[in-house]
Amino acid sequence: MTTIGLPVALGIIMLGLGLSLTPADFARVLKQPKAVLIALVCQLILLPAICFGLVLLFQLPPVLAVGMMMLAASPGGTTANLYSHLFRGDIALNISLTAVNSVIAVITLPLITNFAIAFFEPFDDQLGLQWSKALEVFAIVLLPVAAGMIIRRFWPKFADRMDRPVRIASVIILVVVIAGAVASNWSLLVDNVARLALITVLFCVISLTVGYLVPRAMRVASRQAVATSFEIGIHNATLAIVIAQSVLGSDELSLPAAVYGVLMFFVAFGFGFLIRGRSGEREPEAVASS
């Protein structure tokens, strides 16, 4: 499952993302730079810093600390698009942010992971994500997305037909991957579930809150704030699990992402109802101001 199943599962998820993308999704970033810039600053700088503070506060063991930092460095997951649609967010902004984040993560994820490994020193025999392993991250993240975009460019009808089945398969695969990671590390999980559950739930709540309140404070429209909230708050746990187990070869390193991946669904769902009520009241003002 680790050597073949996990990369294949993530590849299918990222292929599904590519099937929904066009070059216009990247160009759209230039049309609404304010919301995108705020989201990227929160995603790439603010949240890793907050996660680092939480890790120190909770005094996690070194391997789990690195796992949390790797989770914080992961881009938004495709599940964010589903939640944004459910709670009336700006889907186009979600798609654009996911596209940009996935590209940037090829650089930032290895950098943040290497910083965490150097700081917490969980391994005695390796220095972190070296260039060869960073290339693996590139292949895992971007090649399936590029393949999906090529399919959509030259065979758009086929891409449209495959969009829904691949989305459904992605959700099923996500659940299976997380369940497999939990099952294969059950004893480790039982030993650390209390501290991991608390810190992952807290990090998820903070991520969602930052993703909503910071854009609203900067006068970003309500629907865009809902989109950035889920894009920032729902991290790609599957990517973190794949890199931990397949690239770095550590099952324990994947535990924070596995626990987060389970609890995130419930936290994000409850948060969505909370902000939908608030955004529904403020939407006319946001539309008028824009």
Q: What is the tally of structural domains in the chain? A: 1
Question: Is residue 283's pLDDT more than 80?
Answer: no
More confident residue, 209 or 86: 209
User: Does 211 map to a domain?
Assistant: yes
Span 25-37, average pLDDT? 76
Per the model's pLDDT, the better-predicted residue between 60 and 290 turns out to be 60
User: Would 290 be classed as within a structural domain?
Assistant: no
| Residue 289 belongs to a domain | no
Range of the domain at 38: 5-281
Question: Secondary structure of the chain: what % helix, strand, coil (to 5)?
Answer: 85, 0, 15
Q: Residue 288: what pLDDT?
A: 34
pLDDT of residue 54: 95
Which residue type sits at 133? K
Is 288 inside a domain boundary? no
The DSSP secondary-structure symbol of 235 reads: B
180: domain CATH number is: 1.20.1530.20
pLDDT (0 to 100) of residue 278: 60
Q: Chain-centre distance of CA 259, in angstroms?
A: 14
Q: Answer yes or no: is 287 within a domain.
A: no
- Return the pLDDT at 281: 47
Identify whether 202 is part of a domain: yes
Dig out the tokens for 110 from the structure: 């290895």
Q: What is the pLDDT of residues 63-86, one digit of tens each?
A: 899 999 999 988 876 678 778 877
Classify residue 286: in a domain, yes or no: no
pLDDT in tens, 216-260: 999 888 888 998 999 888 888 878 887 887 777 777 888 898 888
pLDDT at 271 over 70: yes
Entry pTM: 0.76
**Which helix (H) or strand (E) covers residue 247, if one does?**
none
For residues 168-184, give the mean pLDDT: 70
